[in-house]
């Protein structure tokens, strides 16, 4: 369900913060619908205001009426999702030392994550509710990747309507997930010397989308919060809920608020360079962000979960 195209934002080369021992364990269960209390010093842009369009391709399909019943004010639902994206991906807890310059971790002592929130330049989002298999997917249009289309499955809406305890919450969760794909970074827009940054793992992109969904209090009913290492999942980049709960641990326990926003920002500034850079310091994607390789973090997460049980 991913197709995130590069944004037109002009990245400024910068390094990302080094790790620190701060913890911010809110014990978030994913069910809390209250927005996070944002620190007064936090830096975030206003929510984006893309042109929004809705195409209902088959008014005779009963799921179209279900959609309108559960999402009676699509504009409000979409804007709530956009606000959540800004809160969880584009809010830096610490302001930059100077608004004129991008943040650099070399400039001063870091006490918490910080970055210069830079939204992609997505200008329009068109929701198309139609007969497709699966749940939903997001794509750029052929002419211009700043214009996104979110295709939403009528048959899935039927399933949600007839089998989910809270159909509106599920549909809002899917809307949030797909909108993240319209507003997350995957790589720098510039390609110095024609060298394109590597693709991040699709599981990371999907995990970030579900991380926002989780933090927004819209976890799907079938998601199961892992309570020990055995329930953690096989791989960190499995995507969806497995990666979302891992990213939530990084944000809420290991690093602190803004950690996943900083990760998203590094995809724009530097790209997914150096996953295997264990021991390579700032050159490694994960070391540069959090001071440890992703496999070490995944192990640490497992140990944390097992300790929870005791
Ligand atoms: Zn997706």
pLDDT tens column, 206-236? 999 999 999 999 999 999 999 999 999 999 9
Give residues whose Cβ lies within 5 Å of ion ligand 1: 1-2, 206, 209
CA of 243 to the centre of ligand 1 (A): 12
Question: Is 23 part of a structural domain of the chain?
Answer: no
CA of 134 to the centre of ligand 1 (A): 11
Mean pLDDT for the chain overall: 85
CA of 192 to the centre of ligand 1 (A): 29
Query: For the ranges 100-104, 251-255, 303-307, which has the lowest average pLDDT?
Result: 100-104
**Rounded CA separation 198/99 (Å):** 29
Query: For the ranges 15-24, 58-67, 218-227, 273-282, which has the lowest average pLDDT?
Result: 15-24
Question: Is 103 part of a structural domain of the chain?
Answer: yes
CA of 200 to the centre of ligand 1 (A): 14
Which segments of the chain are extended strands (E)?
51-56, 124-130, 136-140, 147-153
Question: Is 16 part of a structural domain of the chain?
Answer: no
Question: Is 29 part of a structural domain of the chain?
Answer: no
Percent pLDDT > 70 in the chain is 79
What global pTM score does this model have?
A: 0.83
Query: For the ranges 36-40, 72-76, 82-86, 156-160, which has the lowest average pLDDT?
Result: 36-40
CA of 177 to the centre of ligand 1 (A): 6
pLDDT at 41: 73
pLDDT for 91-115, tens place per residue? 998 765 544 444 544 443 345 789 9
CA of 256 to the centre of ligand 1 (A): 25
Higher-pLDDT residue of 211, 195: 211
CA of 19 to the centre of ligand 1 (A): 29
Query: For the ranges 157-161, 186-190, 303-307, which has the lowest average pLDDT?
Result: 186-190
CA of 1 to the centre of ligand 1 (A): 3
CA of 2 to the centre of ligand 1 (A): 4
CA of 136 to the centre of ligand 1 (A): 8
CA of 138 to the centre of ligand 1 (A): 7
CA of 137 to the centre of ligand 1 (A): 6
Q: Is 158 helix (H, G, I), strand (E, B) or coil?
A: helix
Using the predicted structure, report yes or no on whether residue 171 has a pLDDT greater than 60. yes
pLDDT at 189: 86
Question: Is 245 part of a structural domain of the chain?
Answer: yes
Question: Is 120 part of a structural domain of the chain?
Answer: yes
CA of 6 to the centre of ligand 1 (A): 16
pLDDT for 267-289, tens place per residue? 999 999 988 765 456 679 999 99
pLDDT at 300: 97
Question: Is 76 part of a structural domain of the chain?
Answer: yes
pLDDT at 262: 96
Which domain does 127 fall in, by range?
51-309
Identify which of 33, 51, 63 has the alpha carbon closest to the alpha carbon of residue 129: 63
pLDDT at 230: 97
pLDDT at 31: 39
Using the predicted structure, report yes or no on whether residue 26 has a pLDDT greater than 60. no
pLDDT band at 191 (very low <50, low <70, confident <90, very high): confident
Provide the domain count of the chain: 1
Question: Is 12 part of a structural domain of the chain?
Answer: no
């Amino acid at each position: 369900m991913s197709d995130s195209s590069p944004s037109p934002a002009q990245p400024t080369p910068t390094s990302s913060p080094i790790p620190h021992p701060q913890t911010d364990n809110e014990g978030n269960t994913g069910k809390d619908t209250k927005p996070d209390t944002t620190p007064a010093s936090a830096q975030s842009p206003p929510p984006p205001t893309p042109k929004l369009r809705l195409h209902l391709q088959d008014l005779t399909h009963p799921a179209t009426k279900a959609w309108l019943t559960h999402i009676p004010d699509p504009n409000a639902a979409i804007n709530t999702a956009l606000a959540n994206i800004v809160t969880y991906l584009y809010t830096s807890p610490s302001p930059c030392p100077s608004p004129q310059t991008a943040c650099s971790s070399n400039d001063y002592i870091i006490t918490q994550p910080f970055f210069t929130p830079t939204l992609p330049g997505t200008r329009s989002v068109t929701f198309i509710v139609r007969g497709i298999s699966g749940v939903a997917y997001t794509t750029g249009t052929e002419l211009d990747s700043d214009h996104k289309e979110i295709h939403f499955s009528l048959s899935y809406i039927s399933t949600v309507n007839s089998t989910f305890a809270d159909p509106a919450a599920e549909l809002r969760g899917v809307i949030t997930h797909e909108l993240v794909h319209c507003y997350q970074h995957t790589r720098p827009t510039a390609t110095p010397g024609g060298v394109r940054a590597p693709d991040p793992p699709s599981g990371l992109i999907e995990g970030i989308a579900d991380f926002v969904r989780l933090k927004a209090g819209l976890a799907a009913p079938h998601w199961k919060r892992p309570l020990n290492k055995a329930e953690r999942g096989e791989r960190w980049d499995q995507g969806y809920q497995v990666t979302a709960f891992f990213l939530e641990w990084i944000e809420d326990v290991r690093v602190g608020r803004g950690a996943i926003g900083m990760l998203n920002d590094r995809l724009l500034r530097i790209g997914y360079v150096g996953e295997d850079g264990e021991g390579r310091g700032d050159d490694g994607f994960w070391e540069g962000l959090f001071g440890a390789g992703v496999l070490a973090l995944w192990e640490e997460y497992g140990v944390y979960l097992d300790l929870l049980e005791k």
